[in-house]
A and B are shown apart, each in its own frame.
Chain A
């Protein structure tokens, strides 16, 4: 069964090619079958492969053909399947399939229907190549492929200028990180003479000792790539603007899959990060800062999708935090659960926005609880999972394990833990602020049409997964089940827990988390359902802070004044290229001489003779004199 691995990325790629070539000729139904069907078959195949896969049997490697062979660089078009990539391809194809099904209804009226599915299929194929690649060059191909699709899909409605701007911003900002990553790959090739991931991971511990300078530089460069793709500090500014794309795109690319590519990269190259404690600490610090900054920004947004965007940045911050303390499997677990509930939330938000005729402002929504019961309940489940409501939601288990390990893990410390705890508190406030404002209170906008089965069924499936997905990994205190981390153990080592940490401490921490989550929900209930006027009072009394958070901590303004404005200024100054002036001078001199000598060519024959005579006399005189 595993031999069929190559078909998994090939199917969506084929779908993309069919849709690109025949796009305009296919009927909408045919295009939906090609678009959603190819990903659906891939998902089915992944599930079959997964059922036949035994982690103990070791990784499965499949080389399709030699891709490049020049001067010692010989990456193959080869796939590498192990537990880590299996988790990723499962999430990509399965959640991807649900989002494709959802899109067939969501985009039904859109003119670019086939184009949308072509991009979406291409994205799925690139993402699968990214996570299945057995060498870093092929991974880089997938990495840039998803970047391209992200650009194309953010700017999908390109008639509006701001969508195109957002697409370009996303593309350019992630390029900063990608450049760092490319330099990292060059260094790795220079050092190891190969870019096959497994060879590098095997050779690295022999070559470098822990704390090696080179390992740190390489790890930091790779971290740069991860930071760009995963929208972490300081390159997080592109993700909120990326919400200009259609909602299914936000769900698939900017929540569930692509933005977690950075997490995958770090988890995949974890050996190098373990060799460089400084770089790993940086990962944790970036994660902790990002989750706080994005969490507070999410508190102040009014656009439903922007709340979710900041929330995504914040949740990926949690994953980075987990990676930073060496809790590899906890990070991947949170990635999977986050993919479920955040895709659910984006799809739910998309459905609400569609039903309300493209109204994004959640303060103009309200009272949708009774009118859209399915969307309400699924959205509520997704929010509960995001806010880590204790015991019943998957988000509780995944977030709890990160919080516990950031405190008790060997590389954890109290600051990471406090940041995570504050983040969790803020998360539950902004999540339920969003729920209460959107679905409770008075109805402010009339509901248009209702959603069909192709929208509700994916929502229900994702809602179920957001609830039960967490039961495959339970903490020591609650059942102690480690299916997920056991599954990942052959690839990602288990985290070493500080021996002084006791079960009592774990209970205490879980207790604090639960209380904070519930208190957060209560605060949101108090301010947005019971006493909405207090919320606006609070907002006006803290107007400056509100504005600062609303602007995403001023990062956009900072980059605008530090990078964009000087660049535009230089461009304006140098509009008429300064170097070009030199060449203009040559042209000017030539033209001047031309005009002078043209005057001498008067067309009078006798003048020509005269000048010839004078010339001859001069030459003769000179000949006699010298």
Chain B
């Protein structure tokens, strides 16, 4: 089977990362922001896998498993925080959580 060209994989990763980043910036719903962060994480993971495939090394995939684990932990903490925020503020608007301004 022909390999997917490295450039194509990296471009896909870059596009995914940029989409995630933009949606973090423009979304106000805190859950969507969390999802966007997940997309960015996966984009980074994809870049690792592509790089691992290019050099025929397992490291890329090992790194991806790390990222998955970390993402799982992050989501559990993040969702707990979101629940708390919702309890406190009765909204999921991130701009409403601005009490810690200087």
Contact = CB atoms under 8 A, between A and B. Distances in A.
A608 to B, nearest CB: 10
Given A606-B94, A606-B95, A600 B25 contact: no
19 contacts: A599-B102, A601-B100, A601-B101, A602-B101, A603-B97, A603-B101, A604-B95, A604-B98, A604-B101, A605-B33, A605-B95, A605-B97, A606-B24, A606-B25, A606-B26, A606-B28, A606-B94, A606-B95, A613-B25
A601 B102 CA distance: 5
B75 interface: no
Given A605-B97, A606-B95, A598 B102 contact: yes
B99 interface: yes
Nearest to B94: A605
Chain A interface category by residue count: 10 to 19
A613 B36 CA distance: 14
A609 B25 contact: yes
B21 interface: yes
Contacts of A606: 24-26, 28, 94-95
Top 5 nearest A-B pairs by Cβ distance? A603-B98, A603-B101, A598-B102, A601-B102, A605-B94
B10 to A, nearest CB: 15
A603 B89 CA distance: 14
Contacts of B100: 601, 603
Contacts of B95: 604-606
A605 B94 CA distance: 7
Chain B: interface size category: 10 to 19
A605 B28 CA distance: 9
Contacts, number: 34
B98 A602 contact: yes
Nearest to B100: A603
A597 interface: yes
A625 interface: no
Contacts of A609: 24-25
B67 to A, nearest CB: 18
A148 B10 CA distance: 90
Given A606-B25, A606-B28, A609-B25, A600 B102 contact: yes
A563 interface: no
A453 interface: no
Contacts of A610: 25
Nearest to B98: A603
B24 A597 contact: no
Given A606-B25, A609-B24, A613-B21, 18 more contacts: A597-B102, A601-B100, A601-B102, A602-B98, A602-B101, A602-B102, A603-B98, A603-B99, A603-B100, A604-B95, A604-B98, A604-B101, A605-B95, A605-B97, A606-B24, A606-B95, A609-B25, A610-B25
Nearest to B26: A606
A288 to B, nearest CB: 78
A605 B33 CA distance: 10
- Counting chain B CB atoms within 10 Å of each CB, which of A597, A606, A610 scores highest? A606
A606 B24 CA distance: 8
Contacts of A602: 98, 101-102
With a 10 A CB-CB cut-off, give which of A598, A609, A613 has the most chain B CB atoms: A609
Contacts of B102: 597-602
Interface string B14-49: 000000010011101000010000000000000000
A599 B28 CA distance: 21
B93 to A, nearest CB: 10
A604 to B, nearest CB: 6
A349 B1 CA distance: 129
Contacts of A605: 33, 94-95, 97
Interface string A160-194: 00000000000000000000000000000000000
Interface in B81-102: 94-95, 97-102
Nearest to B95: A604
B42 to A, nearest CB: 18
A272 to B, nearest CB: 73
Nearest to B37: A609
B19 to A, nearest CB: 14
Nearest to A601: B102
Interface string A577-619: 0000000000000000000011111111110011001000000
Nearest to A594: B102
Nearest to A602: B101
Contacts of A613: 21, 25
A622 to B, nearest CB: 19
Nearest to A610: B25
Contacts of A600: 102
A609 B21 CA distance: 9
A594 to B, nearest CB: 9
Nearest to A606: B25
Contacts of A599: 102
Nearest to B22: A613
B54 to A, nearest CB: 21
A246 to B, nearest CB: 66
A605 B25 CA distance: 9
